[in-house]
Amino acid sequence: MTEVTYLEAIRQAMWEEMERDPRVILLGEDVGLYGGAFKVTAGFLEKFGKDRIIDTPISEEGYTGVAIGAAFNGLRPIVEFQFIDFIANAFNMITNFAAKSRYRWGAGVPIVMRGPSGGGVRAGPFHSQNPEMHFVHTPGIKVVAPATVADARGLMKAAIRDEDPVLYLEHKKLYRHVKASSADLESQEDVVPIGKAIVRRVGEDIAVVTYSAMLYVALEAAEILAKEGIELEVIDLRSLVPLDKELILASVRRVNKVMILHEDTRTGGMAGEIAAIVAEEAFDDLDGPIVRVTAPDTPVPYAAALEDAFIPRAEDVVRAARRLAAY
């Protein structure tokens, strides 16, 4: 039985979709000859040829624009950002063009924008960021952030088949750390629907809402807390836009205490948005304050000790959960 990594799942999903649909093309820096900075697209050029696997100059705004134009003309481009931090260069193209096109002209832009996000690999402030909220805040873009191998595969397929722009955030720390057996993967649905969260662990004391790599931090904390008699319910959002509000609220209504955990910085983060929804729609079901566990409002530090302090760890969740449980 072979093991499939998170990275391999992304590769497989793109490969299979390109085999299935000749309209799918791939653009980005070093995606062809070099096979991608993280080798996600190794072998693609040989298999699909240079008409479909396009090495671009360092020009994010340029090739994102090319992809949008190609999408208008019937193709379904996947745009790779070598590090998702560089998506900032294409901000105008994405937010003013891709995101608003359907609204303005009824013309969908079926592109997938993907790239490695997140920290924890000593890559410093330009190669470790979590830029999701710029795009969560922009109506017209779907945003997904898989945490598991099966979701990495299933959400990629859903993103490629979607008629609108999808930002697909891969967590680089998960690339080779998270594995699943190929048999397990085969038993999963091929496509994971965008907009559906999932409960990864059932508990009755505190609901922890999280996504991407922080899922594992939440699960680790849940193991520690279970020994103290505090049961965490862990919700993996999988999609940030559309947000699975119903699942979050159902959990809050049952568990009555909620914590939101993310690796992104605090102010204007996803946690604030979810906290507002819970306060508006489930106020009467709260038995304690809504708690956020997030990175602080600084750039991602380069120094190892600082980066460790910056990214939320299981012990941060444990501490906050103990306080909230006793509240």
Interface residues with another protein (CB under 8 A) are: 198-199, 202-204, 233, 247, 250-251, 254, 256, 283-288, 326-327
Q: For residue 77, which of 145, 31, 137, 131 has the smallest C-alpha distance?
A: 31
Question: In the annotation, is 134 catalytic?
Answer: no
Distance CA 88, CA 101 (A): 19
List Cβ neighbours of 105 (8 Å cut-off, separation of 6 or more). none
Distance CA 89, CA 180 (A): 34
At closest approach, how far in Å is the CB of 257 from another protein? 8
Distance CA 225, CA 15 (A): 41
At closest approach, how far in Å is the CB of 105 from another protein? 33
Closer residue to another protein, CB minimum distance, 202 or 303: 202
Closer residue to another protein, CB minimum distance, 51 or 284: 284
Q: How many CA atoms lie within 13 A of 308 on its CB side?
A: 4
Instruction: State the alpha helices, DSSP H only, in 75-131.
Output: 91-92, 99-105
Residue 124, classified by CB atoms within 10 Å of its CB into exposed (0-12), middle (13-18) or buried (19+), is middle
Closer residue to another protein, CB minimum distance, 247 or 271: 247
At closest approach, how far in Å is the CB of 174 from another protein? 23
At closest approach, how far in Å is the CB of 133 from another protein? 26
Q: Are 169 and 142 in contact (CB under 8 A)?
A: no
Closer residue to another protein, CB minimum distance, 125 or 288: 288
Which residues form the catalytic set? 127
